[in-house]
Amino acid sequence: MKTFSFKLDPLTGEEYLEVYLRGRQLITDPLLNKTSGFSQEERLTLGLEGYLRAQVSTIEEQLARSLEMYRRKQDDLERYIFLMSLLDRSEVLFYRLLTEHLEEMVPIVYTPVVGQACLQMSHIMRRFRGIYVTPETIANIDSIFQNISRPQIHLIVVTDGERILGLGDLGSDGMGIPVGKVNLYVAAGGLHPAVCLPVCLDVGTNNARLREDPLYLGRRAPRLDGRDYEVFVEKFVQAVKRNFPEALLQWEDFAKNKAFVLLERYRERILSFNDDIQGTGATALAALYTAMRIQSSRFQDQRFVIVGMGQAGVGIASNIRTALCEEGLDAEAVRARIFALDQPGLLFEDTPGLEAPQRAFAQPRAAVAGWRLARPGEVSLADVVTNAEATVLVGVTARPGLFDASILGALARNTARPVVMALSNPTAKCECTLEDVVRATDGRGLAAFGSPFAPVDAFGRRHVGAQCNNLYMFPGVGLGALIARAPKVTDAMFLAASKTLSGLVSEAERAEGRLLPDMRQIREVSCRVALAVATEARDSRLGRLIDDAKLESLIRKAQWEPHYAPYRPGAPR
């Protein structure tokens, strides 16, 4: 049963919620619960008298109380638990707190702390959020979707928990990621929480630790795989199309071999994208556009080394290839500027086991003929950085310390302003730190990271590393695609988003070495990214035929601000 509807008073023009719950039911619904914020009229008409203390609080008073309790917590995991408990009590209050303290709290509700939380999710979970679908319940997927109590769904973030951040297979404990992404869609992008749905496809886990943990709450079986897995996902997608035909589906933290297949299989059939591939690639490209601006150089002047050719690595390589092609380079010239490494070292055309997206960036053996190698027959990262005269180094390996002083020093000898992007999450998995980059490059390096690092004062100035967080990208891309009513998300939309995002970095920020805008501007960033996406959708005949000013007006109107709407009693039709 739907618990409320959005309404507009035809006489006064007042926007309000028509609420179908009463009394105790109402104050236990986190999306509707105002706690002490219910007005005297609402208390009378909605059966709340006797359930609440006498004082009616403003949301600002509630916010002060919540912030005081948050800051009493002794460690980050306790802060995460507090915030999720607040989300379970009052979503509006949670989002007001998060939006007003976004820079402080994003590392708690998402990376890096969400990784720590997912590792212990079955032990710390207070209340289930979102939808869990298993092989045993997929036959009832339409009923599951129809039982959702929210008026409408426009965004679904889905994971199967197989590759959570850099932590691997966490089964249904990986639900912390879709929940966190929804938090960011609302806080940064401005989507209303009522239209967002986190989903976990609980197909089992191959993680022995979880299956043997007596407190694990997920499906205790090996992962569904092969044809059975494909049929399961197809049933899920078809149900999304039937029940939520205008919704955006975001694929999140699937294993590499599945992620590429799912993206290609469904990108033309449903409004969808993979944030780990496309969002990461587009955010990294925006940072690189800014680096080129700082250097007064072009992409074709660089030599890119990308270590870790999973979803993120392929996404970044693909975006760099697009930028090089835009500068007029042919396929051979592009390949000569991108060097991709994975577990075997430098990828060659004859490297066994390469998947098609990786093979596109493999080198011919002739490319390294004449290179001086530390060990003949093996082409290591150090060999590539030195022989290829690398100027940009990207890491998405989850191998802490991989970019050591010798690697960073070799990079710095190749160029005046080396670019280092150590993007693995959480912080404990990062390839290097900002201080490592500053020291090894004598303060000349431009740096971006997956998780935040504090500025470093050295060599006579302050050095700031960008947090290359997909938060800059996916909320705006999703909002723009929805406002445009596009049938699909295209590479051109992501490219437009990257250029727009880089263009928002001010001259003063570039002078500090910042490659992305200040996180405190994230609402405006999301609006501008959404406008770029919606405009590209329109211009490519995939979106609504609305001029720029009207599109921007619609986007800004869609960006919900956390506040308590007036309630009126009603009965579901």
Give the residue numbers annotated as catalytic, written as ranges.
Answer: 110, 181
Residue 249 to residues 299, 318, 549, Cα–Cα distance (Å): 32, 22, 27
Torsion of CA 536, 538, 539, 541, to 10 degrees: 120
Residue 140: both structure tokens together:
């009832």
DSSP codes joined into one string, 313-346: HHHHHHHHHHHHHHTT--HHHHHTTEEEEETTEE
Between CA 43 and CA 549 the distance in angstroms is 42
CA angle 214, 218, 220 (to 5 degrees): 70
Residue 496: strand, helix, or coil: helix
Long-range contacts of 330-336, Cβ-Cβ distance < 8 Å, separation of 24 or more: 333/300, 335/361, 335/363, 336/367
Give the helix/strand (H/E) hosting 63. helix 59-70
Q: Which residues contact 490 (CB under 8 A, 6 or more apart)?
A: 536, 537, 540, 542
Q: Note the residue count of the chain.
A: 573
Answer yes or no: are the C-beta atoms of 102 and 187 closer than 8 Å.
Answer: yes
Q: Tell me the β-bridge partners of 447.
A: 420
In one letter, which amino acid is 62?
A: Q
Q: For residue 101, with 0-12 CB atoms within 10 Å meaning exposed, 13-18 middle and 19 or more buried, which class applies?
A: middle
Strands 248-251 vs 272-274: parallel, antiparallel or unpaired: parallel
Between CA 476 and CA 555 the distance in angstroms is 10
Torsion of CA 401, 405, 407, 409, to 10 degrees: 150
